[in-house]
């Protein structure tokens, strides 16, 4: 659901974002809204491929604030889901992003809060595995 030029989260997830951003000591502390939203969205997309409906949507950031690179990634995911024509429909593009973020925020929270788990190390391993297996550097 993209109601205007913003990205949205479920109202009930706001507390999770706040906790990660303000209180949970770790690499996400002090990060900007756009960074957290993007991490949630990409984990939702990559780890589950499942989109969740938003409950009581609450605006979280301006699309403009995301910056061109994040917007390109969001659009690419929308294209992968709906085809090229989705680029004609901004609302649909960001609705897909919002729904992936709604799934991903729980995953992000789980990863960031796991005491036996070095979040960045784990993420790094995933990236290296993906990078090497998909031969991205070639």
Partner 1 sequence: MIINELRMENFRQYYGQNNISFAKDPEKNFTVIQGTNGAGKTTILNAITWCLYGFELHNVTDDPIYNEVVENETSQSGKFRVKVEIDILNKNNELTTFKREKNFHKNTKGKVIPAIFEDDEFSIFDEESRNNKRVEFPALYVDTNMPEDIEEYFFFDGEKLEDYFRENTGKVIKKSVFKITQLKLLKRLIDHLDERRRHYAKKVRDISPETGALEQEIIDKEDSLKENSSLLEKAVKQRKIAETKIKKYENELKRSGSSDIQSLQIEREKLEREVSELDTKIDSAKNDKIDFILEMTPTILAYPALKNTLKEAATLKEKGFIPAKYKKKFLEDLLEDGVCICGMKLSENDKCKKTLEELWEKTSNLTDIGDEIGTEHASIESLLEKLNNFRDKQTKLGKEIRWLEKEREKKSKRLKEISIRLTGSEIEKIKDFEEMLQENKRLQLSKIREEAELGAQIKSTNVIIEKLKKKRDKEMQKNAELENLKDVVLFCETSLDVSKELKKELIEDIRVRIEKTTKEQFLKLNWKESFVDVLIDDDYDVTVVRKSGRVSDANGLSAGEKLVLALSFMAALNQISGFDLPIIIDTPMGRLDKEIKLNIAQVLPKYLEDKQITLLVTGEEYSSEFRDKLHHRVSKEYIINVVQTENGNKSEVVLHGS
Measured between alpha carbons, how far is 106 from 127 in angstroms, rounded to an integer? 20
Under rule CB under 8 A, residue 127 binds partner 1: yes
- Give the SS3 label for residue 62: strand
Interface residue with partner 1 among 51, 75, 95, 112 (CB under 8 A) is 75
Site membership for partner 1, residue 38 (CB under 8 A): yes
131 binds partner 1 (CB under 8 A): yes
Q: Which residues of 19-45 are buried (b: 16+ CB within 10 A; e: fewer)?
A: ebbeebeeebeebebbebbbbbbbbbb
Is 43 a binder of partner 1 (CB under 8 A)?
yes
Least distance to partner 1, CB of residue 47, Å: 9
**Which residues, 6+ apart, have CB-to-CB distance to 91 below 8 Å?**
2, 3
Interface ranges with partner 1 (CB under 8 A): 22-23, 27, 31, 35, 38-39, 41-43, 45-46, 68-70, 72-73, 75-77, 79-80, 83-85, 87-88, 120, 123-124, 126-128, 130-132, 134, 136-137
């Amino acid at each position: 659901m993209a109601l205007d030029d913003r990205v949205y989260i479920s109202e009930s997830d706001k507390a999770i974002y706040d906790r990660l951003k303000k209180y949970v000591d770790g690499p996400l502390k002090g990060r900007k809204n756009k960074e957290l939203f993007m991490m949630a969205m990409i984990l939702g997309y990559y780890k589950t491929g499942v989109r969740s409906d938003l409950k009581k949507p609450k605006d979280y950031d301006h699309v403009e604030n995301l910056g061109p690179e994040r917007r390109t990634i969001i659009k690419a995911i929308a294209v992968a889901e709906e085809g090229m024509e989705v680029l004609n429909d901004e609302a649909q593009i960001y609705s897909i992003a919002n729904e992936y973020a709604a799934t991903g925020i729980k995953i992000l929270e789980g990863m960031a809060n796991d005491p036996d788990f070095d979040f960045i190390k784990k993420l790094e391993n995933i990236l290296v595995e993906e990078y090497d297996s998909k031969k991205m550097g070639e």
